[in-house]
Amino acid sequence: MNKPLSRVDRPNSYIGKSLPRPNAKRLLAGRGRFVDDIQLPRMLHAAFARSPYAHARIVSIDVSAARAAPGVRRVVVGSDIAKLCMPWTGTLRHFKDMKSPPQSPLAIDTVVWAGQPVVAVLADSRAQAEDAVELIAINYEERDVVVGIDAALAPGATLVHDALGDNLAFQTTIENGAVATAFNDAAAVVEVDLRFGRHTPVTLEPRTLIADFEPGERALTVHHSTQTPYQFQDIYARHFGLDESRVRVIAPDIGGSFGMKLHVYPEDMAVVALSIIAERPVKYVADRGESFLNDIHLRDHRVRAKLALTQDGRFAGMRVQDDTAIGAFSAYPRTSAVEGNQVVRLMGAPYQLTNYRADLRVIFQNLPQTSQYRGVGHPIACAATERLVDLAAKKLGLDPFEIRRRNYVTDEMYPHTTATGYRFERLSLDQCLSKLHALMDYPALRAEQAQLREQGIHRGIGIATYVEITNPSPAFYGVGGAHISAQDGCVLKVTPSGDVQCAISVTEQGQGTETIIGQIVADQLGVDRERVRVLTGDTETTPHGGATWACRGAGIGGETALQATRKLRSNILEIAGAILQSRPDTLELADGKLIERETGTVRMNLGELAALVYFRSDTLPPDLKADLTVAQHFAPKGFPFAFTNGIHGSLVEVDVETGFIKLLKHWVVEDCGRIINPMLVDEQIRGGVVQGLGAALFEECLYNDAGQLMNGSMADYLVPMAGEIPDIVIAHVETPTLDTELGAKGCGEAGTSAASGAVLNAVNDALGPLQVQISQIPMTPQRILRALGTVQ
Amino acid sequence: MTRPIAIMLTINAEPVTAMVESRLSLADFLRHQLRLTGTHVGCETGSCGACLVMQDGRVIHGCLTLAVQADGSAIQTIEGLSESGAIADLQAAFHERNALQCGFCTPGVLMTAQELLQLEGVPSREEIRDALSGNYCRCTGYQAIVDSIETTAQRRAVGEAEQPA
């Protein structure tokens, strides 16, 4: 396996090359086609009346004035829709004893978060629908609200759902080795109590969908801003009792997703129901305020952890308690337990550590749901682990690089199983560490830091190691009963002129999926990449598959494309052999031509071959199987996940007068296995890093005790903008996975996974000489000044 | 509801006459009435820059401007700038450097970049980042955008702006 994939002297050697994205030109010309750009005949627009309260009983609803408003075609309440849509429940079987109540598109008796949709209005325009929403009168009886983690767990706490008996959605404990002994015998123990601010993805294109129900055939077409069209095809079919073959989900250009647009939202289901009721297309576009209220939130965690140390600076044991609050419902169909579950399984993962215990509690509260977003648990586990490691280094008088080197899983240990049961095929921890040391010019940075400190300038240097779960097998969702595919499918077709069309189930949200798939197909077939057209994002024209999430597009989708291409190539050589009366193994495809393998002599063009197959089958031998369309499916079968690894470095300057933190530079060394397109990998890393920097310094959904969002606009919720962000330096180590021919692993989440941890360590490094530390992100100026004792 | 108001303006150098509601934003007018969908709407509060268009040569927020306020003015959208070839070099630089991912912010970013590049001299990276302070991009982390604008500024300065591929 992992034979050389392409010869550099070959004309179509594309794997490993930085090539621009063919589909980007459209977007640059303003010719993208996002869901809100689509207008269908007779289309109606939906708007929702939402609960202003975080917890209340619905006493009465009066929609008479709304029904009479100009342009209004339908006004629909929860009980109208409940008849059409089977409720959904955000639990999975492999999360033992997990609970979450069934959820319906519109609230029926009670509301459990502020922003929950209660009534839907359909009108000729969105403005008219919104006007009518203003005329809906809903009487509520307010109930007590539970927001904080401690309040939710306290005896006699207000319950988010009375029927569940408590506010605990899920809990689990992982234990391995002799943890108590490790702590009893420890030479030293360091500990952290870290708070992570709840934030939200803020994709620039909001959630958008158009549902178009055709009653004659009971066919449903949904134009949906999602990264997982196949998952939604399944969900719409099952929950609305439709034939799956007649449900088509089309994901056109998607304006950012990052995990946010793969969850089921009440509005999605309501819009499908409204289209069935009205028998007309219905469009819904979340406005920015609705996005803040109802897009998934994430990473609301409190992590308390301890690390036991030996005298010689080895990690002897770790204890972790992660409490995470997930809002009022567990998300469907992936649940809201995955993030916490990954935190407790990834803590300490890069290190030799056998004595480990972690307890996880996943908690309901009267807030919007949290769920998976880029990095899922990794940034929390990374920041908490790496904070402990830095504290350990400080306690033992070791350099942060040295303590990591001393404790990493080493090259001889692979394949390695962590204390939590994760299996690593092979990582490159030490190589990445050394490379980062050189890339940063670490000794020079330390010298500069010392010099500047004398001038009262407080610079900090922080590093953070991560391991990342990529190429997930069915162990992620399938085993828990979720209808989420871990395999992908690819159909390749040679057109009569010798072009190639590739329909594949991994999807594009701008990361370059279509580009890298095109590179793989052209490289493996031996044609110019201009002649390969890649089609994605339509359940009716592409094979069923997992699509794009959890870092699987290159690793799983890419391998699917590679295997499909080898199958097609074999067919083509077989056909060519028959036509040219040569043995297939003496022929080769290069630059779209069939050539003699030994001499390179051109025998015929691929187009000539295809034309004979399609138009003159009478000239071919009767027993020749002349298939110029092939289908291939692929699912990971070796290691359950292809783990990647890497390390970030951060240089910051803290203004101790104002509390402002200036990010000066950020470095990443990462190993995602075989790199298909270095430029696209680098840009995935950079974008991911900046999302992590947002978490470190800016982003937080601020709720008051009544469960009301205090900063639900882009003027109030801070996202990273160009002026605050430093240039990001990236280097690579390549350790291909041997589980596939391609050898690629994921890279989409590597940037986000360690950026906040590196900055947290850097800021604490800057604050160190002042004898204070900060244990909460985002590290706002106010929190820095509080840590410094300047303000209360 | 108020009676629609007649407006006359030029859009991408073509005369346009339309009846609009007084409350209709310029961005919604362009998108939904004229079907110029290259102008995007990201926040409707003037924070994100997805809706930027040019009015009489100056970059404005399509979401904060009413269609009626555009009466009598000359509007340029991404479609116009693109089809006239005015930003072909900038688009080529963005393409080569992959300075976009999902592309939703891109038309607004190109507006900001084009306005900046019309000023004298080659801007520094810091000046480019400062100019972009009203353009939110969730995908790229901005560096490739800064690189592309810098490259275009340098190419324009030496009069060697490459033709788009």
B106 touches chain A (CB under 8 A): yes
Mean pLDDT of chain A: 97
Cβ-Cβ contacts under 8 Å, B104 against chain A: 32, 34, 203-205, 255-256
Residue B127, chain A, CB below 8 Å: the answer is no
Give A507 to chain B, closest Cα distance, Å. Answer: 12
Q: Which of A25, A28, A36 to mutate to test the interface with B (most CBs of B within 10 A)?
A: A28
User: What's the mean pLDDT in A494-513?
Assistant: 98
| Nearest residue of chain A to residue B86 (CA atoms) | A29
pLDDT reading at A522 higher than 70: yes
Look at residue A14 in the predicted model and tell me its pLDDT: 97
Q: Looking at the predicted structure, is the pLDDT value of residue A1 above 70?
A: no
CATH architecture of B87-156: Orthogonal Bundle (1.10)
Q: Which CATH number fits domain A24-32+487-634: 3.30.365.10, 3.40.50.880, 3.40.50.10070, 3.40.50.10890?
A: 3.30.365.10
The per-residue DSSP string of A30-95 comes to: T---BGGG---TT-EEEEEEE-SSSSEEEEEEE-HHHHTSTTEEEEEEHHHHHTTS--B----TTS
Interface contact B11, partner A, CB < 8 A:
no
Contact residues, chain B, for A690 at CB < 8 Å: 140-142
Cα A387 to Cα A653: distance, rounded to the nearest angstrom: 18
Please answer yes or no on whether B102 and A256 come within 8 Å at the CB atom: yes
- Contact criterion met (CB < 8 Å) for B102 and A510: yes
Quick check: bond before A778 cis, omega within 30? yes
Q: Do A691 and B50 touch (CB under 8 A)?
A: no
Span A173-192, pLDDT tens digits = 999 999 999 999 999 999 99
B35 contacts A39? CB cut-off 8 A? yes
In CATH terms, are A24-32+487-634 and A426-469+640-792 the same topology? yes
Structural tokens at position A380 = 């929390």
Inter-chain CB proximity A728 and B101 less than 8 Å = no
Which tens digit of pLDDT belongs to each residue from A299-325? 999 999 999 999 999 999 999 999 999
Proportion of chain B in helix, strand, coil states, percent, rounded to 5: 40, 15, 45
Which residue of chain B has the CA closest to A722? B129
pLDDT confidence of A6, banded at 50, 70, 90?
very low
Collapse the DSSP code of A100 into the 3-class scheme (helix H, G, I; strand E, B; otherwise coil) and give the result: coil
Task: Establish if B132 touches chain A: CB-CB under 8 angstroms.
Answer: yes
Residue A288 pLDDT > 70: yes
Give the per-residue SS3 of A192-206. Answer: EEEEECCECCCCCCC
User: Rounded CA gap, B65 and A66, in Å?
Assistant: 29
What is the reported pLDDT for B2? Answer: 74
For residue A201, the chain B residue with the least C-alpha distance is B138
Report pLDDT digits (tens) over A415-436. 999 999 999 999 999 999 999 9
**Which pair of tokens denotes residue A646?**
């890497």
Whole-number percent of chain A with pLDDT over 70: 99
Predicted confidence at residue B160, as pLDDT, reads 54
For chain B, the C-alpha Rg in angstroms (whole number) is 16
Give exposure, B119-130, as e/b (b: 16+ Cβ within 10 Å): eeebbeeebbbe
Q: What is the pLDDT of residues B64-82, one digit of tens each?
A: 999 999 999 999 999 999 9
Helices A558-580 and A606-615, interaxial angle, to 10°?
70
A410 secondary structure, DSSP code: P
Over chain B, what is the mean pLDDT?
Answer: 95
Is pLDDT above 60 for A9?
Answer: no
Residue range(s) in chain B whose domain bears CATH number 1.10.150.120 = 87-156
User: pLDDT confidence of A476, banded at 50, 70, 90?
Assistant: confident
Q: What is the mean pLDDT of residues B132-141?
A: 98
Chain A: residue nearest B94 by CA?
A28
Residue B21 clears pLDDT 70, i.e. is over it: yes
CB contact under 8 A, B142 and A25: no
Task: Give A528 to chain B, closest Cα distance, Å.
Answer: 17
Nearest to A27 among B23, B47, B106 (CB): B106
**Contact B50/A at CB under 8 A:** yes
A681: distance to nearest CA of chain B, Å? 11
Chain B residue at shortest CA distance from A512: B101
Is B27 an interface residue toward A (CB < 8 Å)? no
CA A671, distance to chain mean position in Å, is: 18
CB contacts of A28 in chain B (<8 Å) are 82, 91, 94-95, 100, 103, 106, 110
- Residues of B within 8 A of A258 (CB-CB) are 138
Q: Tell me the mean pLDDT in the region B3-17.
A: 97
Q: Which residues pair with B14 in a beta bridge?
A: B11
pLDDT at A7 over 70: no
What is the mean predicted confidence (pLDDT) over B113-132?
A: 96
Summarize pLDDT for A530-548 with one digit per residue, the tens: 999 999 999 999 999 999 9
**Please, which pLDDT band fits residue B165 given cuts at 50, 70 and 90?**
very low
CA gap A82, A76 in Å, rounded: 11
Which of A17, A128, A204, A519 should one mutate to test binding to chain B, selecting the residue with the greatest count of B CBs within 10 A? A204
Question: Under an 8 A CB cutoff, do B142 and A725 touch?
Answer: yes
Flag if B101 and A689 touch (Cβ within 8 Å).
no
Q: Which of B97, B104, B137 would best serve as a mutation to test chain A binding (most A beta carbons within 10 A)?
A: B104
All residues of chain B having their beta carbon less than 8 Å from the beta carbon of residue A210 are: none
Range(s) for CATH 3.10.20.30 in chain B?
Answer: 5-81
State residue A475's pLDDT score. 86
Confidence grade of residue B89 (pLDDT, cut at 50, 70, 90): very high
Strand partners for A284: A209
Instruction: State the nearest Cα–Cα gap between B66 and chain A, in angstroms.
Output: 14
Asked if B138 and A201 come within 8 Å (Cβ–Cβ), the reply is: yes
Please tell me the distance in Å from A694's CA to the nearest CA on chain B: 10
CATH, domain range A426-469+640-792: 3.30.365.10
Whole-number percent of chain B with pLDDT over 70 = 96
For A132-165, the pLDDT digits (tens) are: 999 999 999 999 999 999 999 999 999 999 999 9
Query: Which of B47, B106, B133 minimises the CB distance to A722?
Result: B133
Quick one: B5-81 is in which CATH superfamily? Beta-grasp domain (3.10.20.30)
| A647-706 residue pLDDT tens | 999 999 999 999 999 999 999 999 999 999 999 999 999 999 999 999 999 999 999 999
Residue contact A28–B100, C-beta within 8 A: yes
From the list B151, B16, B142, B149, the residue with the least C-alpha distance to B79 is B16
Task: Choose the closest CB to B101 out of A511, A714, A715.
Answer: A511
Considering only alpha carbons, which residue of chain B is nearest residue A513?
A: B101
Where does the pLDDT of residue B161 fall: very low under 50, low under 70, confident under 90, or very high at 90 and above?
Answer: very low
Domain limits of chain A? 24-32+487-634, 426-469+640-792
